[in-house]
Amino acid sequence: MRKELIDKTLAICQSGDIPAAIALQKELAVLNDCSGIVYPISTVAGVDIAYDGNTAYAAAVVMDYASLDIIEKTSFIENVSFPYISGLLSFREFPAILNTMNNLKTRPDLLIFDGQGIAHPRKMGIAAHSGILLDIPSIGCAKSRLCGEYEPPGKNRFDFSILRNKGEDIGIVLRTRENTKPVFVSPGYKVPFGDLLEIIRHLTGSFRLPLPTHLADRMSKQIKGSANNSS
């Protein structure tokens, strides 16, 4: 983990300083490295957060990369202070993600987020930001587009097209289920563009999202539901 950058991020999360948040994103984008993951990948974790107002219900599910067996799962509930602002989601979500990751006994080789990687106006979505700070290779797999242009992929499973922004390839638009809306996959940290498709194909089962992220999404919603039912 990169303590100085983590501390800077957490301070902005608390202060709500929007100009400082944008400046840090630009600083991190210069530092980002998507040139190469260390293979082989043994473990992968899906990370997601559900919200009830300003309460974040974060979940992480660690799986064996080859077999997709669940190794470990954990969660964390935290009140958030940074407002919801498009393009600055990291500053709303990172404190809960950090605490969730700190609860894990297993350090994953790869993180898959339900959110953007570099497919972001400043190339610093939640997957990129968190990957850099945690120093863990990461991929963003979002259910909607934040920026860029693309041609719709074919309607068959694993048909894809390229997501581009200002002439640069920033992600792939991937149909993970036949006749279902595609997902928007982009490098986060230390994962080359050319490896995205193989990794996400391997991790995708019968659900729209890759299995680790799908399970984290389901777990975060279950925790939210349990908390609401007990209150």
Three-state secondary structure string covering the chain = CCHHHHHHHHHHHHHCCHHHHHHHHHHHHHHCCCCCCCCCCCEEEEEEEEEECCEEEEEEEEEECCCCCEEEEEEEEEECCCCCCCCCCHHHHHHHHHHHHHCCCCCCCEEEECCCCCCCCCCCCHHHHHHHHHCCCEEEEECCCCCCECCCCCCCCCCEEEEEECCEEEEEEECCCCCCCCEEEEEEECCCHHHHHHHHHHHCCCCCCCHHHHHHHHHHHHHHHHHHHHC
Q: What is the mean pLDDT of residues 149-175?
A: 95
For residue 33, the model assigns a pLDDT of: 83
Whether 210 contacts 141, CB under 8 Å: yes
For residue 1, the model assigns a pLDDT of: 67
For residue 226, the model assigns a pLDDT of: 85
Range of the domain at 223: 3-230
pLDDT tens digit string along 108-135?
999 999 999 999 999 999 999 999 999 9
Separation of alpha carbons 153 and 14, rounded Å: 40
| CATH number of 41's domain | 3.30.2170.10
Q: How many domains does the chain have?
A: 1
C-alpha closest to that of 34 among 144, 106, 119: 119
Please, what is the average pLDDT of the chain? 94
What percentage of the chain carries pLDDT values higher than 90? 90
Q: What is the mean pLDDT of residues 173-193?
A: 94
For residue 182, the model assigns a pLDDT of: 96
pLDDT band at 30 (very low <50, low <70, confident <90, very high): very high
For residue 75, the model assigns a pLDDT of: 95
- pLDDT of 231 above 70: no
**The amino acid at 96:** A
* CB proximity list for 145: less than 8 A, separation 6 or greater: 119, 163, 173, 184
Pair type for strands 55-64 and 43-52 = antiparallel
Q: What is the mean pLDDT of residues 68-90?
A: 95
- pLDDT of 138 above 90: yes
- pLDDT of 9 above 80: yes
Separation of alpha carbons 29 and 89, rounded Å: 15
